[in-house]
Amino acid sequence: MKIVVTGAAGFIGSNIIRGLNARGIDHIIAVDDLSEGDKVRNLADLKIADYVDKDVFYELFAQGAFGKVEAVFHEGACSDTMESDGKYMMDNNYTLSCGLFNSCQQAGTRLLYASSAATYGGSDTFRETPEFEHPLNVYGYSKLLFDQRMRRECGDNFKKFKRQVVGFRYFNVYGPREQHKGRMASVAFHQFNQFKAEGRVKLFGEYGGYASGGQLRDFVFIDDVVAVNLWFLDNPDKSGIFNLGTGRAQPFNDVALSVVNALRATQGDSALDLAGAAQAGLIEYVPFPDALRGKYQCYTQADLTALRASGCDHAFADVQSGVTQYMATLSQTA
C-alpha cells in the first residue's frame, strides 16, 4: 500500500506516519516544506519511502509521477490562526487542496484531509451543517470553503464518487511532535515550558462571560486523532465531514492543573487541587489580550453524532490522562 502524507514533518502529519509505521506501513511519500529545518526532527525517527518538496509535489502528483497511490492524508496547510495575509492563506489551504482533490479523483486515490473546528467560529453548536458555520478569521474561512467545495463536488451524502473523501474537523489537538509550532503549539506544550522555566503556568483571565481559566475547549490527544484517521483508512466505504474531538469540553484550568500535577509528580510532590495550585502561585492568570478580542472561541465541544453514526466508536482520552501522558513524554525528551 502506497500512502502520501502532506505536511509530513508537521504535528499531525508526522504522527500519522508514526501510526502507519506501527502497522508496518512504510511505503510512504512524505511531502512538506523544510525551509524551517528544525522540522526534520519529526521525520528523523520515521520510516518513509521518499521525500518530495511541497513546491513540486502537487504538479507531479497530477501528472501521475508516483504511480498508484492508495490514499493521501492531506495535513499540509497554513495553520496559524493569527495569519492576516488572506491571499497566502487561501492559496495554501484552499487552492492547493482543490487541485489535490481533482488529482485524487482522476487517479482513483482516496483523500483524507484536515479541516478544522475553526470553521464554526463564534457558533455555540458544533455540528457539521452549514447553519452552525461562522468562522472568525481567514484561516477558518479557508477551511470552510474547501469543506463547502467538497459538499458540492461529492454531494450532500458524499456518495457521488466511488473513492473515499473524508474531512476531519480537528478541535484542540495536543501531544508530541508539536515543538516546531511556536505560538500555535498547544497550551499544554507552552505550560510545560513555563513551568520548567518559571515554576508556574499562565492562563488568560476572565473573558467572554467565563471566569479566569474557565473558558472551555474540546482538547483532543494526538494519539486519538491518529486512531480515528486510521479507522477511516480501514473503512474506505465511509466518507463525509466529521468532527474530530472528544465530545467533552473542559476548562483551561483542567489543562493547567494536569500540567502542574504531572510535573510535580516527577519531583516527588503530591497533587494539588485548583485552589491550592493558584494559592501556591503555580497557576497565574494574565489579562486577556486585546488582539484576540472578538476572534477567540471561548467554548468548543465536538458533536460526535455523525462520527458515531459512521461506526467509529473510538474512546477518547480526557484531559487529565492525555496531558499526564504528554508531560511524561516531554519530560523524557527535555
Annotated active-site positions, please? 139, 181
State the CB neighbour count (10 A cutoff) for residue 228.
22
- Side chain identity, residue 77: A
